Chains A and B, each alone.
Chain A
Amino acid sequence: MITLRSEFKKIKRKKIGLTMCALIGVQFAWLLWAGNHPDEKERLQGWIEMLHSLPLVSVIMMPTIMSVLASRLADVEHKGNTYKLLNTLRRPGSLYHAKVVCGTLFILAISLAQFLFVIALGYSRGYAGHPEWKYYTTAFMLNLACCLSLYLLQLLLSMLFFNQMIPLVAGLGGSMLGLILMYVKMYSFLPWGGFLSAAQVNMDWNPETRVIHFYYREYSPVELCAVAMIFVWIVVFYTAGRILFAGKEA
């Protein structure tokens, strides 16, 4: 707790919250545009359509957001050359753990904001019925897990490189890769593809009637493995970061 408390003291004036709000704002703008239907028939599928849009928004935006978050948390140490001091005060493992927990709290806030915004938006637009909580809760949890896996990867890179352009470019590259993988359907086992692997909604588009039908999909065994991979990445990146942090000589 002491190390975590000091972690929050370190980021004072770094405006991490404001940066996150700005990036989330872009997501909100996208979601405002998506699912905005004046037609009552289309609004019948409003809740499920939002669940379809959320992973698409996340796959493009979240890798960048996670890279910015990790970079901001690691950069304060690089700039002030503080590892050699901190490692004489606390075990390197506990310092790493504090960065993970600090970042996770931000991710939790971001994900909560994202979902609460979608729900508020749905009600304000008058979508039929209520959100299907089972799917929304699952989507929230899986979104959180995907963000965490990406954050741990970015934290690893941000700690490894003094120049924060490298992890930031990796984050932007991840966003681009996620977008490309979405079209070639090869996203399943990559960390940036987690959002799409975990997506619970598919759609059918009839070219003749130009009507889109959204439906909840059942995961095939391979798709279930792809979802499980999100958690494997979390373990892999967390362990690698911890080993790197603990083994790093100042």
Chain B
Amino acid sequence: MPTQNLVETHNLTKQYGKVRCVNAVNMQVPPGSIYGFLGPNGAGKSTTLKMILGLARPTEGSITLFDVPVNEKNRMKLLAQTGSLIESPSYYGHLTGEENLRIIQTLKGCSEKDIDKVLKIVRLHDARGKLVNHYSLGMKQRLGLAAALLGFPKLLILDEPTNGLDPAGIQEMRELICTLPSKYGMTVIVSSHLLSEIDQMADHVGIIRKGELVYQDTLESLHAHSKEQIALRVSHTAIALDLLRQKGIEAVQEEEYLLLPMVDDTYVANLCRQLITQNISLYRVEKREKSLEDIFLSLTGKESSL
């Protein structure tokens, strides 16, 4: 039965010895999306991506790529439609950038013309004849991306592609990734431990913590969690809550506070006046904002590194 997701994992689990690095992950990547795979260092991002690419064998669970369950027989056929850059770029330092791409192009079986195209996309055209050992880290990273782009695959898996890049390089890489779905119809899975990075690139997000997928939805939904609220602390919380609901305000109680959706100042003043006329003492009126960072930290645990 078609799932309408380009990538799906079902209870994907990886155990090394007694440690479960990835625990029952159900990832869903819609076609044409940029799926940001977010989590602190050591959360299990790379292991999950490696399992999708067949570089690590799952202890449990299954993977579906392009609506086809992956098995040993069809793995290579399905991977022919993917490109990947895992952890650090792979390259032959004693060869030029172009020679490196020629090897990948031979193995991928794609057109030779693609080499020129991808070199232009990653802006390495001028350095094509230079030995990769003489490339900067940013150039190597871009070469890795060029290798992943060869054959213009349907799915691109990039594991921390901005690692080790300078701010300008990071910006350049981000801009490049953002254009891939619209320009080439690709679906991109990009992992990072930086929320801000995913926030700038992705339209879908999955957050992994200690091997478990703790959040998965659109980035818009994640942003919705970060909306501003008005918090009221009053003498009779239950009565005040009833009063607010009678007025059609979607208020919720959180500990001693009543949380209201953000409204303008005049509306807040009116509400306060009405509460006071009902003999409800008003102790505090606060504006609260839950930032994306707060949400991320509450999902991943504050003790985790960012």
Chain A residues positioned under 8 Å from B236 (CB to CB): none
Minimum Cβ distance to chain A for residue B136 (Å): 16
Q: Is A217 an interface residue (CB 8 A)?
A: no
Partner of A89, one of B50, B88, B102, B107: B107
Shortest distance between the CB of B92 and any CB in chain A (Å): 5
A102 to B57, CA, bound (A): 29
Q: Does B61 contact A (CB under 8 A)?
A: no
> Which 6 pairs from chain A and chain B are nearest by CB?
A85-B90, A250-B55, A82-B90, A89-B107, A80-B91, A6-B106
With A and B bound together, what is the CA distance between A175 and B50 in angstroms? 40
**Nearest B-chain residue to A85, judged by Cβ:** B90
A74 to chain B: closest CB distance in Å? 13
Which of A2, A14, A81, A250 is in CB contact (< 8 Å) with B107?
A2
Q: Chain B nearest CB: distance from A102 CB in Å?
A: 13
A1-44 interface (Cβ within 8 A of B): 2-3, 5-6, 9-10, 12-14
The yes or no answer to B191 lying at the interface (CB within 8 A) is no
Q: A9-B102, A10-B103, A12-B95 are in contact. Are A80 and B90 (CB under 8 A)?
A: yes
Chain B's closest residue to A15 (CB) is B94
Of B76, B87, B93, B147, the contact of A90 (CB 8 Å cutoff): B76
**CB-based contact B56/A81 at 8 Å:** no
Stretch of B20-28, B78-86, B161-169, B273-281 at the chain-chain interface: B78-86
Quick one: closest A residue to B83, CB to CB? Answer: A88
Set of chain A residues within 8 Å of B55, measured between Cβ atoms: 84, 87-88, 249-250
> A6 is contacted by which of B50, B57, B107 (Cβ under 8 Å)?
B107
> Is the beta-carbon distance between B106 and A249 smaller than 8 angstroms?
no
A88–B79 touching, CB < 8 Å: yes
Residue A86 at the chain B interface, CB threshold 8 Å: yes
Question: Which chain B positions have C-beta within 8 A of A10?
Answer: 92, 95, 103
Q: Does A85 contact B147, Cβ atoms closer than 8 Å?
A: yes
Contact with A along B95-134 (1 / 0, CB 8 A): 1000100111011110000000000000000000000000
What is the CB-to-nearest-CB distance from A248 to chain B, in angstroms, rounded to a whole number? Answer: 9
Indicate if the CB atoms of B147 and A76 lie closer than 8 Å: no
Asked if A134 is at the interface of the complex by the 8 Å CB criterion, the answer is no
A198 to B92 Cα, complex, angstroms: 39
Contact B54 A88, beta carbon cutoff 8 Å: yes
Please determine whether B107 and A90 come into contact, CB atoms closer than 8 angstroms. yes
Binding site for B on A (CB under 8 A): 2-3, 5-6, 9-10, 12-14, 76, 79-91, 249-250
Asked if B38 CB lies within 8 Å of chain A CBs, one says: no
> Which chain A residues border B188 with CB–CB below 8 Å?
none
Q: Are A88 and B84 in contact (CB under 8 A)?
A: yes
Q: Closest CB-CB distance, B305 to chain A, in whole Å?
A: 24
Instruction: Confirm or deny: B205 has a beta carbon within 8 angstroms of a beta carbon on chain A.
Output: no
**B82: shortest Cβ distance to chain A, in Å?**
7
Is A82 touching B56 in the complex (CB atoms < 8 A)?
no
- Please list 13 pairs of residues, one from A and one from B, whose beta carbons are closer than 8 Å in the complex, sorted by A's number: A9-B95, A9-B106, A80-B92, A82-B91, A82-B92, A84-B90, A85-B90, A87-B54, A88-B53, A88-B79, A90-B107, A249-B56, A250-B55
Determine the chain B residues whose CB is within 8 A of the CB of A76 once the complex forms. 92, 94
Chain A residues with Cβ below 8 Å from B95 are: 9-10, 12-13
| CB-based contact B56/A89 at 8 Å | no
B50 partner residues in chain A, CB cutoff 8 A: 84, 249-250
In contact, A84 and B106 (Cβ under 8 angstroms): no
Residues of B within 8 A of A80 (CB): 90-93
Docked pose: A71 CA to B99 CA in angstroms: 21
Shortest C-beta distance, A232 to chain B (Å), equals 29
Using CB atoms, name the residue of chain A closest to B79. Answer: A88
